[in-house]
Amino acid sequence: MKIVMLGAPGAGKGTQAKMIAEKYGIPHVSTGDIFRANIKNGTDLGKEAKTYMDKGELVPDELTVRILLDRVAQEDCKNGYVLDGFPRTIPQAEVLDTELTKLGEKIDYAINVEVPDENIIKRMSGRRACLSCGATYHIEHVPPKKEGICDKCGSELVLRDDDKEETVKNRLNVYHQQTQPLIDFYNNKKVLKEVDGTVDMKDVFKAITDILG
């Protein structure tokens, strides 16, 4: 089962992708995680990706495609995977489609988690991250016990550059211009399914599992 998660940044598709991966025993392949690992390890690719991510811009297709195809060729992906953060553009979707066709494979479901922009801006600008241990919080929904301090390791929490309101608005603009057309792309391939991402996380997951069976 090969699944593509669609939805604006902050729509909650990453959380749903992890839950799908766990339930169905397939890897959650997140380009964001792959990029962050590269950034943390200080690789050339990581440094290049970071210059785009800090401005809220998309990492260029060739960088992303190279990294992703290598990942899904690994042994743990043989029974399927959940793609989160890829494809983001029509050219990426076409490259993925072409490469999968060569292998006699295809995307089975493209699940769009639908959330209005104003909800997303509120969600993301409330996020706080611990750069030391990687724990994440939300000032409204998952606050730390002590304001501004990580529960797990006691380090200071920060608002990451890509969660700042202006960056979020920029990311949403980029999303609407470049990624929204994917909804039509996968709809034309008869694999698009849409779920309401504004309801409780468990209800979103139930709607998805009802689709996947």
The alpha-helical segments, DSSP class H, found in 103-197 are 117-125, 165-174, 181-188
123 as an active site residue: the answer is no
Catalytic choice (71, 123, 127, 128):
127
From 122, 100, 121, 120, select the one nearest 110 (Cα to Cα).
100
What angle do helix axes 181-188 and 90-102 make, rounded to 10 degrees?
30
Question: Which residues make Cβ contacts (< 8 Å) with residue 208, sequence separation at least 6?
Answer: 16, 20, 111, 193, 195
Catalytic choice (2, 123, 128, 171):
171
160 as an active site residue: the answer is yes
User: What would the two tokens of residue 156 be?
Assistant: 């200071």
Catalytic choice (160, 164, 169, 193):
160
Catalytic choice (13, 71, 123, 128):
13
171 as an active site residue: the answer is yes
36 as an active site residue: the answer is no
Please report, for residues 17, 19, 99, 109, the alpha-carbon distance to residue 133 in angstroms, rounded to integers and kept in the order given: 22, 22, 36, 34
Catalytic choice (2, 88, 123, 128):
88
Helix, strand or coil for residue 205?
helix
127 as an active site residue: the answer is yes
Cβ 130 vs Cβ 136: under 8 Å: yes
What residues act catalytically? 13, 88, 127, 160, 171
